[in-house]
Amino acid sequence: MTSAISLNALTKRYGDVAALTDLTLDVAAGSIFGFLGPNGAGKTTALMILAGLSRATSGSATIGGIPVSVEGSHRGQVGYLAQEPRFYGWMSGRETLEYVASFYAVESTKRELNELLDLVGLADAGDRATKTYSGGMRQRLGIAQALTGGPSVLLLDEPAAALDPLGRHDVLEIMRRLRGDKTIFYSTHILDDVERVSDHVAILDKGRLVVSAPTSELLAATTGSIRVALIGATESTAAALAAIPGVTGVSPGGRQRDEWSFDLTVLDGRTADVQRSVMRFAVDAGLIVASNRQEAPGLEEAFLRIVDKERAA
């Protein structure tokens, strides 16, 4: 794996408060890396250090093999989007990109800036004043300004946090298009977004790394869930279902006429066995199985389980 970003024991303290403690991570080149955690976990602090906007108390980091520092040349490799991007309202989107481009040693051509506006879906609004832009449009312009100058790494702080579903979809679609061409390291607390676009997930809590793993691996490690609907069952059937090996919990899902539904929580790797056991139980009890389907585990379940386990330790 070629690392675009490497963090080694990165620590940041504000007096007696530790915002980050010994954060060690490697972000693969060309990947979309979700940096997940509750508010106050230290996500923004880490991004600001990587962007060269804040100094680490101790530890080190590199981007593209170049050491990260406030004065460092690594910043030429980085495009940064703050959590709430702000622009001069009287400037158009195109003028904003021209202004940002003027800070780079290599001049961006008009064609390149037009391509950026097209990439983020603002080609038709490029000459409008940014004060007329919606929240989603401003966020997309923020991604375009982060891409100005041709960075290899994008650091995005909560890129879709304040957007409606359509705006979030647009931002995630832009990120998908950039996969492989750019390395995207972004913070968020929107679990569904991470599950949809991220190749790898790191979970941070109280400034400490809790877990770092491929998204698919993290999801595979979660407990399974089965929704069972039985005709002829009663509420007391839940106790019999709970006794099936591999079942760790049963919640009655409700009743429709003579059909009862139950939600079964299942140990990792036991879903198929439990489904077969449910069928045998129904036959022995004289019940009719209306449905017996596996519910896909989500990242929210994994996140809550991991963080709760860490805090209980």
**Annotated domain spans of the chain:** 3-213, 224-296
Q: Thinking of the domain 3-213, which architecture would CATH place it in? A: 3-Layer(aba) Sandwich (3.40)
d(CA 293, CA 218) in angstroms, rounded, equals 21
Report pLDDT for 38. Answer: 81
Site of tokens 């998908």: 176
Q: What is the mean pLDDT of residues 157-173?
A: 86
| pLDDT of the residue at 296 | 58
Neighbours of 293 (CB within 10 A): 10
Is 224-296 a domain of CATH 3.40.50.920?
no
User: One fold for both 3-213 and 224-296?
Assistant: no
Question: CA separation (Å) from 75 to 34, 69, 106?
Answer: 21, 9, 14
The DSSP letter of residue 54 is S
pLDDT at 257: 75
Q: State the pLDDT at residue 74.
A: 87
Q: Which of 113, 118, 76, 115 is nearest to 95 (CA)?
A: 113
The pTM of the whole model exceeds 0.85: no
289: which strand partners?
230
| Distance, CA of 5 to CA of 27 (rounded, Å) | 5
Q: Which residue has the higher pLDDT, 137 or 256?
A: 137
Q: How confident is the model at residue 161 (pLDDT cuts 50, 70, 90)?
A: confident
Mean pLDDT over residues 18-32, rounded? Answer: 95
Question: What pLDDT band is residue 311 in, cutting at 50, 70 and 90?
Answer: low
Give the per-residue pLDDT at 59.
96
